[in-house]
Amino acid sequence: MSNIKQYITDNKERFIEELLEIIRIPSISADPAYKKDVANCAEVVAESLRKVGVQEVEILPTEGHPIVFGTHIIDPNLPTILIYGHYDVQPPDPLNLWLKPPFEPYIAPTEVHPEGAIFGRGSADDKGQFFMHVKAFEAMKANNSLTCNVKFLIEGEEEVGSAHLEDFVKNNHDKLKNDVILISDTHIYSKEQPSVTTGLRGLSYVEVSVTGPGRDLHSGLYGGAVPNPIHVLSKMIASLIDDEGHITIDGFYDNVEELSPEERSLMNELKDDPENFKNSISLREVQGEKGYTTLERIGIRPTLDCNGIWGGYIGEGAKTVIPSQAFAKISMRLVPNQTVEEITEKFTQYFKKIAPNTVHVQVKPHHGGLPYVLKSDTKEFLAAQRAMEKAFGKKVYPYRSGGSIPITSMFEKELSSKCVLMGFGMDTDAIHSPNEHFGISNYFLGIESIPYFFEEYCK
Ligand code: BES
Ligand code: MN
Ligand code: MN
């Protein structure tokens, strides 16, 4: 394995160049205008697998964007690790806030990454992270140290809810058969306290509309005598969370798994850094549910956030108008044992219940996903922890993240294997945001940790 480290060091420059090439492809899954680029990205990813010697590489079309699938069997009696990742990226807007164009990657230092970070859409989420697995495979192969079978499943629709991957998984149990699923699409807590993600929250996402009068009205002729949908909607949204940070939706917490004091103290062994947390997002003070730490609020508690709200006149100058309608997009992050159907239904009932009878309310559900938890006493977690401890030379903590990867719970249910969330990004990497970046040291520590995971898991 010491040869692995040498191999990575000897090939550093090329490993970076090859990643930049993939980041240059604008594989934006949400925007139909980029369909060709997404398909082209799948080709390049497939080619990168062939180039490192993966035995069988296919591009599998779906009704949406294609799936790249690779199989490398060295001995059917050995365990098989399935690598999952995504080559699609979020839309880069707002473009004017990028220091350089999002698909023209470049390297620059940051406070968190003084050694340099790769800037560009998808650098951390998830191109830089899935590509670590391609390069780790290359390194293992070059050193004759591949100790188990490997499958690669790199999809092109994660950022739009993995809609077509579900059917693919359901219909391809044999093809996907594996002993463990290894995913690098999450974050470490910090370079001082690296972590393996033991939990992801689920997601229920809805769009709501409030309709008042049947047409837009002159705000002088009608103002004061009719309901204003923007006011009504704002008040309704504000009332969804009370002064103690609890969500007011009837039955919202009914199925929420409460952690034991032991579990809570275990998760708080990782010391959060409130000052650093605030400073990193230029925030004056944190807020959240009473009785919980920031780590707990993000990791083990369900939440509700308005992601966007609009209606009425937002153009230049002033227009005197009471709009007929107002809209909002609302996300709820779920924890075990809440389900998407349950929470979407409870939201819809409640939102209709609190609407005054002066307006008409509609709720439209979007894609969602279930939460995922990997216990920290499992063989899978322990292999990842030992692997990262070897690469980082530091204690590695279990860490419950607040983000979502909806396919994880589906993988476990359909394929009966556990997902190990061994990600190397950082919260400050600005994923989904302008100037997304991925630390160069994170990239290489990831490439180094992966062969150690193979070694630990297969021994
Ligand atoms: N990789 C992220 C999720 C993530 C990031 C989890 C960092 C933990 C730490 C993934 O690509 C993502 O953005 N997921 C979406 C959900 C999806 C349905 C669009 C999310 O969490 O909002
Ligand atoms: Mn991702
Ligand atoms: Mn993402």
Per-residue pLDDT reduced to its tens digit, 132-183: 999 999 999 999 999 999 999 999 999 999 999 999 999 999 999 999 999 9
Residue at 220 is within a domain: yes
Residue at 401 is within a domain: yes
Residue at 309 is within a domain: yes
Residue 82's Cβ-count burial label (10 Å; 0-12, 13-18, 19+) is buried
How far from chain centre, in Å, is Cα 135?
22
Would you state the pLDDT for residue 268? 87
The residue out of 310, 338, 369 marking a domain boundary is: 369
Atom of ligand 1 nearest to the CA of 86: 11
The residue out of 353, 369, 385 marking a domain boundary is: 369
Compute the chain's Rg from CA coordinates.
Answer: 23
Cα(89)–Cα(30) distance, rounded to whole angstroms? 8
Give the residue, by CA position, lying nearest to ligand 1 atom 14.
404
Atom of ligand 1 nearest to the CA of 197: 8
Would you state the pLDDT for residue 7? 97
Amino acid at 201: R
31 and 164 both lie in a single domain: yes
Which residues, judged by CB distance below 6 Å to any ligand atom, belong to the binding site of ligand 1?
A: 125-126, 158-159, 161, 185-187, 200, 203, 367, 369, 401, 403-406
32: CATH: 3.40.630.10
How far apart are the CA of 173 and the centre of ligand 2, in A?
23
How far apart are the CA of 73 and the centre of ligand 3, in A?
30
With the most atoms of ligand 1 within 8 angstroms of its CB, the residue from 84, 165, 185 to mutate is 185
As for how many domains the chain has, the answer is 2
187 and 124 both lie in a single domain: yes
CA-to-CA separations, 417 to 81, 173, 180, 193, in angstroms, rounded: 10, 11, 5, 27
How far apart are the CA of 239 and the centre of ligand 2, in A?
32
402 and 357 both lie in a single domain: no
Give the residue, by CA position, lying nearest to ligand 1 atom 1.
185
Positions of the chain with pLDDT lower than 70, given as ranges: 1-2
Q: What is the residue whose two structure tokens read 């991925």?
A: 438
Give the residue, by CA position, lying nearest to ligand 1 atom 9.
186
Residue at 180 is within a domain: yes
Write out the H or E segment, with its range, that includes residue 208.
Answer: strand 202-211
19 and 44 both lie in a single domain: yes
Range of the domain at 141: 2-200+371-457
pTM of the model: 0.96
Would you state the pLDDT for residue 267? 87
29 and 126 both lie in a single domain: yes
210 and 195 both lie in a single domain: no
